[in-house]
Structure 1
Amino acid sequence: MSLNGKTAVITGSTSGIGLGIARELARAGANVVLNSSSGKGDPQAQAGELSDEFGTEVRYIQADLSDAQACRDLITKAGACDILVNNAGIQHVCPVEEFPIDKWNLIIALNLSSAFHTTAAALPMMRDAGWGRIINISSAHGLTASPFKSAYVSAKHGMVGLTKTVALETAEEPITCNAICPGYVLTPLVEAQIPDQMKAHGMDRETVIREVMLERQPSKQMATVEQIGGTTVFLCSDAAEQITGTTISVDGGWTAL
């Protein structure tokens, strides 16, 4: 399909899943706005490389997504937002009674509240354009839970609830809102965890991936960022016009258990 002329804003998109989504949307012809909270590295150069590779307009806008106004300003600065992908998020693992308050507040702000603010700012643009797609990157943890991840699980469950609410509010308009719920995805961040897990468990790479990291993922394979990106592109297609307010699991069967 072609997304020529559409503008996609993807939060948290200079690496990992967000970058994979940005690449697939650009490959489909969309103009892309990359974003990160820190601006570390050289995201402007990264945007230029994507633009050269796919022949679309790719820009970078820094925004501290823990700040409500900065989230809304991101959409305003983009100038257009036909496709909004709320992907930004962080993780912290700790028992509930020891969970740092500042970490809780930051995770809820980045993983959930930012999506509320960007969506609120983007909806008027989509209504003016007569078309819109909102894709929220939740998680298998948006549908099930694990211990020691109270803030992350709460935020990802909240993302599913926000998805359903926005879908109902736009149900009679040419705007859809859905959530993608990945399990383990092979990103640079996950890749970096493998050597430590090998050392901790005394296992080789393949064994630690299958028996430790993918213990709850029946396929015993990680999804790829390209697959998450491809799912996002599908949700922007005409074939997905009547898909709204739902979750699509890309988790190798995790939530089938």
Structure 2
Amino acid sequence: MRNLKGKVVVITGGGGGIGSATCDRFAEEGARVVVCDINTEAAQAVADRIKAAGGDALAVSVDLTDFDATGASVAKIEDEVGPIDVLVNNAGWDLFTPFLKSGPDFWSKIIDINLRSVLNITHPVLARMNERGAGRVVSIASDAGRVGSSGESVYAACKAGVIALSKTLAREHARKGITFNCVCPGVTDTGMLDTFMEASGNKDKLRDAFTKAVPMGRMGQPSDLPGAILFFASDDAAFVTGQVISVSGGLTMHG
């Protein structure tokens, strides 16, 4: 990918499956990686692995549902590492719960983690990018937000919101040279998926059904996602904004 070397890249949820794979790929391209995660140990483990391999990484522990704490972390990152060139909104959480079996407390948790957190970090980062007239924001949405997904009503609503937010910000900031794009994973074999399937009450049956539903015959792996994410972050996508790409093995083929 063109022109990622030396770029300051912030990846939220960087200690998880897709997040850590994405951190590793950016480091391989020579980027300065900031691993953001509420799980301090997970973030530090990823940063330590990158540094042991000769890369540049910093672990930052932050609760993205807290607007003030998130803004303070963004200021600290820019003070210690430098201006943020790329923001990857990857942090997320879900639990298999049919809508009629859920309630306001659950809705609030899902919305805070999957939508409000994106607002909380994008706002301060974008303010700085806007002053500089450059930047890339790549948000990890979900095919659930494009086509729906049983047992994920509120999560799907949040991810649809992330897509709509990205398209709107793409319009508002195009003349500033700041791009916004979304990558939508399909069924991806991560810790979050494991938790989701456990909550369904029939994990093995659900895993088999997911696998059979994918035309390519397997569930996605975290390593399947970074290529699309890095493309949107690179100069190869300098004229691409407001777009959504599905990385799902063909599970969804909706334009």
Q: State the TM-score, normalized to the length of structure 2.
A: 0.88
User: 2:239 matched to which residue of 1?
Assistant: 242
User: 1:32 matched to which residue of 2?
Assistant: 33
Percent identity of equivalent pairs: 33
Correspondences of 1:26-175 after superposition (within 5 Å): 26-39=27-40, 41=41, 43-56=43-56, 58-79=57-78, 80-175=83-178
Q: Deviations over 1:125-161 (max 9, x none)?
A: 2234442110000011110112221211111111100
8 Å CA contact retained: 1:219, 1:252:
yes
255 and 38 in structure 1: CA distance in 2 versus 1, 3 angstrom threshold: same
Whole-Å Cα distance in 1 between the matches of residues 77 and 9 of structure 2? 9
- The CA deviation at 1:191 is 6.1
Whole-Å Cα distance in 2 between the matches of residues 159 and 43 of structure 1? 24
Task: Name the Cα RMSD after superposition.
Answer: 2.4
Whole-Å Cα distance in 2 between the matches of residues 232 and 221 of structure 1? 21
Whole-Å Cα distance in 1 between the matches of residues 38 and 161 of structure 2? 21
Unaligned runs of at least 5 residues, structure 2: none
8 Å CA contact retained: 1:182, 1:251:
yes
Q: Deviations over 1:42-82 (max 9, x none)?
A: 533431221221422x1111111222222322322211311
8 Å CA contact retained: 1:82, 1:125:
no
Whole-Å Cα distance in 2 between the matches of residues 148 and 213 of structure 1? 14
248 and 83 in structure 1: CA distance in 2 versus 1, 3 angstrom threshold: same
User: 2:229 matched to which residue of 1?
Assistant: 232
99 and 131 in structure 1: CA distance in 2 versus 1, 3 angstrom threshold: same
Report the secondary structure of 1:81's partner residue. Answer: coil
136 and 200 in structure 1: CA distance in 2 versus 1, 3 angstrom threshold: closer
Q: Which amino acid aligns with 1:59?
A: L
- The CA deviation at 1:122 is 0.8
Q: State the TM-score, normalized to the length of structure 1.
A: 0.87
- The CA deviation at 1:91 is 0.4
Q: Deviations over 1:6-28 (max 9, x none)?
A: 11111111120111111111111
Unaligned runs of at least 5 residues, structure 1: none
